[in-house]
Amino acid sequence: MTWAFKRQLFFIGIIVLFFAGLLFLIISPRLNKVSSCTDGLQNGDETGVDCGGSCSLVCYFEADPLSVLWARTFQVIPGRYNAVAYIENHNKNAAVQKIRYKFRFSDKDNIYIGKREGETFIPPSGKFAIFEAGIGVGNSIPVYTSFEFTEEPVWRDVVEDKINQLKLLISDVKLENQNTRPRLSAKLKNNSLLFVPEVDVIVLLYDEKGNAVSASRTYLEDLGGEEVRDINFTWPEPILGNVFVREIIPLYDIFRVELK
């Protein structure tokens, strides 16, 4: 091997080492990048792309679908109705912060007469209601009511301690003047130290066969830790049928609940 050839090999070796080092500098940050729940990749302990494992986002294939148990309208006064959808979330520690929905109404001949669209949150674990008030459908009478979510839910984990701590308790429920101008009163207690903003409270009234016969809603701007508040519901006309069960459902966006 001549001296000139050795010299060529030496310079070629330097060039190869230079480009190898440059390539390492480019690739190394990507190889050593810490996995995150927003990098568009399935890495770390994720069970899907940026979901599952330690990510707050729940993978869609790991979440149970929502069950719409029933949807109905209730007359408030002639020509005005309230609509309710009664739904169950089977996911114990998962909730949805925002999702769109739609009610559709048909008359006795199943002819479409109107709709109402809205947006809501979904609380974790259990049954809840979606309430739409003051629905007008002209001279038609809504006999059939359907309900659907118009987009896929985006499920997020809720800290189990938060779910276990946050308990809103109902007591002293009284229904008066059912055959004239009905009024239902109760007490709502926040049995935790957590601050709950914007609480919708829905009441459902059932007859002896378990059929819902009426519904109403009231609203609290907030409910402080360990606070007790009086809640009241009124109806402008008598409630027909015998009321056997009164179900009161406090609803709030659990992602907005905080310690104050």
Say if 34 falls within a structural domain. Answer: no
Say if 29 falls within a structural domain. Answer: no
Say if 20 falls within a structural domain. Answer: no
* pLDDT in single tens digits along all 260 residues of the chain: 565 555 555 556 566 565 556 565 566 555 455 567 888 888 888 889 989 988 999 999 999 999 999 999 999 999 999 999 999 999 999 999 999 999 999 999 999 999 999 999 999 999 999 999 999 998 999 999 999 999 999 999 999 999 999 999 999 999 999 999 999 999 999 999 999 999 999 999 999 999 999 999 999 999 999 999 999 999 999 998 889 999 999 999 999 999 87
DSSP string across 217-259: EEEEEEE-TT-EEEEEEE-SSPPPS---EEEEEEE--GGG-EE
pLDDT tens per residue across span 106-118: 999 999 999 999 9
Residue 108 sits in a domain whose CATH number is 2.60.40.3230
pLDDT value for 105? 98
Please count the residues of the chain. 260
Q: Are 166 and 150 part of one and the same domain?
A: no
Total of domains in the chain: 2
Q: Are 73 and 104 part of one and the same domain?
A: yes
HSE at residue 3, side-chain half, CA atoms within 13 A, is 0
Examine the fold and report which residue of 128, 157, 186 is the final residue of a domain before the chain moves on. Answer: 157
Angle of CA points 253, 255, 258, to nearest 5°: 100
> Which range of residues forms the domain containing residue 78?
60-157
pLDDT tens per residue across span 48-103: 998 998 899 999 999 999 999 999 999 999 999 999 999 999 999 999 999 999 99
Residue burial 81-90, b: 16+ Cβ < 10 Å; e: rest: bbbbbbbebe
Say if 201 falls within a structural domain. Answer: yes
